[in-house]
Structure 1
């Protein structure tokens, strides 16, 4: 295991290190001992459990200095799991942005593999849209816009400013975490891919969650930054409507794009809005958010904007042809075409999650 880890990152704590990416940065993470994490989580007590999924469990903990942490404890061990562990620690340890989840450190002792993160007090976007806080009024329009912009800025950093560029590959509501001020932080980099300089895309095995997958990735395994843009568009439709990416309708299942497409085409903006918001939203911002979702969720990757352009659109900071291409009214030149998945594959993202006395701030799927 030590050999594998050395391939991916340099060991050390609190020192300026030479990155394998060719950059230098000050390390702000450290290696935790297993004993320290046992102490922080009360020996991984059930009452400290935040959530449980296919990868393992997440626990709330408190360090000796009072800092609150979240600890992901992997339960399935294999070469594949080891690689995902290494990739997540490597990427999180090297990227620093206010809209990316911060790595506190990791532990690799014996057969234990644990990743330590900052604790996110407002949990995930999923928990507010479809989970334990779905009826809570705190996810008002202002906070939804803040989440849309923050998550876009985090992804834009990965795509345009990280060296080499990083594709997340699993952008979804459960992987957007929220701090006490509802600032979004993109999380869970276990499936992330690094894009070599000069490459436009790579071909790889398909990872991620059905309903969020870009068509070229779902069908051919062709992955680029544009795949994250598509997934982000689905998250925005979720954020606007409060609907899941795939929902059961009678005996069939329908994607959010199949539902939203006709409404977008007809310019029926208000019919897209989450009923929990009632009339408490900014109509101009709504139209802009719908426009962004429609552009991001295009079937053809060539027609999607970059995440940097998305940030510009959301902050009204876009200039030139892209800005002129944005219609002033929803329905004017906007079109959403649903991806035709095999019906047998259309299963909702419902990873079983057993919760303890606290609620999960981390993706457990």
Structure 2
């Protein structure tokens, strides 16, 4: 497959200077759909004044939006600290919030919709109670089935929204569902979590573990509208942490210890395949010993589904690829009996008239 315009420009930002007006229009549309407009703006910063006025306004606006989100996220984390510090609970920040608060290169131009935190499962009830007492509330009222789905099958409580600020918060007690076919050593995630300077009471995952979580998040999920953004996250983390040789030495052993060898293999495969991420050959060889079955089929699916969710990036099989990975994600998430029940219920819910009360399980 030939890479879409957005990917070509992200890998070679200076090439944007040769684009025609229609190309700029397509580039911006693909970037918006891929949640990569701010990252595109960051990469084009050295040439921004040479960009035509119309596209330049969009890129400036994306930079301003990212800066505003960063400021709001710092404040949101401080409010989480205030709520949980009296309990002695030190949440681990995840994904985009962690990249931002740790000042990592992966945070540059990285926008996200909510704050994600990880707390020990033994502390989840008191964490939830403290957050509710400090103004967070559940985004929507759940029926009995969905409440059970979150509480028994998922690795997080239902999403929270602050009643005044409207900010979204996801509280996890694991990085994959307890019913998942991949069993993660969740306790080990907390062993080497690192404190943040000037941020008492919150932590981030250690570099190797952070990469593995990013890999698990991307290659265990089935909704890949932001897949290319997440692939660039992995690329940025690997390039940054990979400057330390000890990082590469620890990567595959840590993946095996956590139970995340296959997500790591897929992460290395597609970052090197599409983004040219520099990974030592011995690490690639070691990771390849955990190659999943049907690798050619996964290539056919991910090569399509990781591209921006825009018609210009779609081929004749893109829809099939996205559907196959969506089904795969649910197959990885739970055993066959609950999976069939869950997918049938979701299919039925889509046909239910708006406003009709859902049936109880």
Q: Same fold (TM over 0.5)?
A: no
TM-score normalised according to structure 2 size: 0.28
- Higher-strand-fraction structure: 1
TM-score between both structures, scaled by the size of structure 1 = 0.27
Higher share in helix? 2
